[in-house]
Amino acid sequence: MAVTKPSLGDHLKLAHRVNSIEVSLIVRLSETAAARKAAGEDVISLGTGEPDFGTPDFVLDAARAAMERGETRYTANTGTAALKTAIVANYRNKGIGIGPKNIIASAGAKQVLFNAFMATLDEGDEVVIPAPYWTSYVDMVSMCEGVPVTIPTSAREGFVVSPQALEQAITPRTKWVLLNSPSNPSGGAYDHDQLRALLPVFERQRHVGLMSDEIYEHLVYDDFSFVSALEALPELAERTLVVNGVSKAYAMTGWRLGYGIGPEVLIGAMAAVQGQATSAPSSISQAAAIGALEGPIAVLKERRADFERRRDLVVAGLNAIDGLVCSRPRGAFYAFPDCTGLLGRRAPGGRLITTDTELCEYFLDRAGVAVVPGVAFGAPGHFRLSYAYAQSALEQALERIAAASAALSSLT
């Protein structure tokens, strides 16, 4: 699938910066699936990473109350004192001591990451990113003139990077190591010991910071217990940025509210970027986030249990398909099966399927199911399926993927 970049004709040239970024494969596939659906085709789209639940009522109430109180003006650039108080209390409950000056609220976790790269990367600075990774990391780093350095991880290791592999990837130009636990797309997550094992690397490599994207912290399954980098590695607090937000756990993707927690100087630099680019996130969304953070924990538990049931359904369904192997994700709401067993086969009609992208196109054409190829996440030979959808849609999608897979010729 070739990417066509927009052109403005001969007079106004686009910046070289946009040539370094890709139109997200996820977005393109979702758009294709949506267009087919709109044209009346029966398409099940499991492409995007968004909970299907509604935002909880207590969050909606908090937002309504803020509007009625007239909280409709600009707030302080890094977020309201009340939101910071709620975040501080949340982290205190985890045994992590932070103050308001360690916090910046932004328009989603995405803007936190972008502010951080803008504030810290000079041209050629490197960011070490274990693969599979969330697509936007590499594009954001490139946009900020940095260089993404990716390290492969495997299902066998639980998609967790080893201290040796990490250290090998670090150079004098490395600014950050970016971990995402639980991970989009693999569902891999670092337990306490796996994080502690990385400490000697950071102790030797004192110029390197740790960026820890913990947006899926509440979506963990079985007896896995989530641990924040700030809790497991307090020694690194002066060079750690935790990225978090309310989008995923509280089904608030549209409210655009994320936050970063880090050392005061870094937060100050990120605040300078944000102050010139967008200013504070929406005042109403900040009030809604307070409602979320201070709300009843039972809702999170219920939703987590629901996701866990869907994960079990999807992982079992995928593993029952000859040619697919799916490990059991510890968290988030994605399955990331290895599909190399289906590559090199022919589709009915004779088309040879050699890559994960071709396989995903085949699933869309033949089965009407949209999933995202692993190459988009730096891990070809896989695909990502989001299970944040109704059980009936998941069951139907699994049946269709199974039938389409069975229709491929056996290996020659």
Binding region for ligand PMP (CB under 6 A): 49, 108-110, 134, 180, 184, 213, 215, 245, 247, 253, 258
Smallest gap from residue 350 Cβ to ligand PMP (A): 37
Nearer to ligand PMP, 108 or 368 (CB): 108
Smallest gap from residue 132 Cβ to ligand PMP (A): 11
Nearer to ligand PMP, 75 or 180 (CB): 180
Q: At what angle do helices 109-120 and 264-277 cross, to 10 degrees?
A: 110
- The residues, ordered by sequence, that sit 6+ positions from 292 with a Cβ below 8 Å of its Cβ are 56, 58, 59, 62, 246, 249, 250, 252
Nearer to ligand PMP, 366 or 384 (CB): 384
Per DSSP (E only), the strands in 55-182 are 103-106, 126-131, 147-152, 174-180
Residue with CB nearest ligand PMP?
A: 108
Smallest gap from residue 99 Cβ to ligand PMP (A): 23
Smallest gap from residue 360 Cβ to ligand PMP (A): 18
Nearer to ligand PMP, 134 or 202 (CB): 134
- The residues, ordered by sequence, that sit 6+ positions from 402 with a Cβ below 8 Å of its Cβ are 317, 320, 321
CA distance 29 to 343: 20
CA distance 367 to 371: 11
Nearer to ligand PMP, 48 or 205 (CB): 48
From first CA to last CA, the distance across the chain in angstroms is 26
CA distance 223 to 173: 39
Smallest gap from residue 214 Cβ to ligand PMP (A): 9
CA distance 194 to 295: 31
Structure tokens at 186: 């693999």
Smallest gap from residue 244 Cβ to ligand PMP (A): 9
Nearer to ligand PMP, 323 or 331 (CB): 331
